[in-house]
């Protein structure tokens, strides 16, 4: 009789162990497959801010460059203001160049303000969405910055209101909120106001 009880007890224990094992396996499978840190960096910009940025970047015949900054909430980056202008050592209609020292002089105050460098924006001559295509220099410069760990992306604008956002190494998403904006293709917009 005693043996029969032990046998029943062992049988029940084994059954219970199998049930718990199954439960654990289902719990593991139910976990999200994408960890939260892989959520793409999302840049949120007002169309009004872009409509004010374009004349600043295209005020003369030369290419102009500005760093855009603002707060960050996890992977959400609010692009809402211009950093101090970068002192440029060479400027022409198709090329902008700044020394590492002058770039650092602008980036240090951004970090001290508790903000983040979100976007490196510059202008291109010509018009239409095609004119916003990044040059070899643009790809090289942004690639170097991103290789050093910056999640900042690039932005190119034209005088006729086209704006392109681009990245070399990072996955990103741009949201342009407000009126007077039309999405042309992925990450290319036309500001119509």
Q: Which residues are at the interface with Zn ion (CB under 5 A)? A: 135, 138
Q: How far is the CB of 135 from Zn ion (least distance, A)?
A: 5
> In the complex with Zn ion, which residue's Cβ is closer, 118 or 124?
124
3-state secondary structure of 2: helix
Closest CA to 66 of 154, 149, 125, 135: 154
> In the complex with Zn ion, which residue's Cβ is closer, 18 or 144?
144
> In the complex with Zn ion, which residue's Cβ is closer, 64 or 138?
138
Q: How far is the CB of 123 from Zn ion (least distance, A)?
A: 8
The CA–CA distances, whole Å, from 132 to 45, 107, 193 equal 18, 25, 19
Q: How far is the CB of 69 from Zn ion (least distance, A)?
A: 20
- Helix spans in the chain (H): 2-30, 47-57, 100-112, 136-147
> In the complex with Zn ion, which residue's Cβ is closer, 35 or 136?
136
Q: How far is the CB of 32 from Zn ion (least distance, A)?
A: 38
Token pair recorded at residue 116: 């983040």
Closest CA to 187 of 39, 95, 66, 50: 50
The single residue listed with the structure tokens 């039309």 is 182
Q: How far is the CB of 132 from Zn ion (least distance, A)?
A: 9
> In the complex with Zn ion, which residue's Cβ is closer, 125 or 180?
125
Q: By beta-carbon distance, which residue lies closest to Zn ion?
A: 138
Strand order in the sheet with 81-82: 81-82, 65-70, 116-123, 153-157, 162-166, 188-191, 181-185
User: Tell me, what DSSP letter sits at residue 85?
Assistant: P
């Amino acid at each position: 009789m005693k043996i029969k009880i032990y046998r029943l007890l062992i049988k029940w224990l084994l059954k219970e162990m199998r049930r718990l094992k199954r439960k654990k396996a289902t719990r593991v499978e139910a976990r999200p497959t994408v960890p939260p840190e892989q959520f793409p960096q999302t840049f949120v910009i007002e169309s009004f801010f872009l409509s004010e940025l374009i004349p600043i970047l295209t005020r003369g015949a030369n290419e102009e460059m500005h760093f855009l900054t603002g707060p960050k909430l996890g992977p959400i980056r609010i692009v809402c203001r211009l950093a101090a202008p970068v002192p440029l050592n060479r400027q022409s209609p198709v090329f902008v160049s700044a020394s590492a020292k002058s770039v650092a002089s602008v980036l240090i105050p951004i970090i001290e303000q508790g903000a983040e460098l979100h976007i490196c924006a510059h202008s291109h001559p010509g018009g239409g969405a095609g004119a916003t295509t990044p040059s070899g220099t643009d790809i090289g410069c942004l690639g170097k910055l991103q290789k050093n760990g910056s999640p900042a992306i690039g932005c190119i604008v034209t005088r006729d209101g086209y704006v392109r956002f681009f990245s070399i190494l990072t996955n990103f998403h741009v949201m342009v909120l407000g009126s007077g904006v039309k999405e042309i293709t992925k990450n290319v917009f036309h500001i119509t106001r």
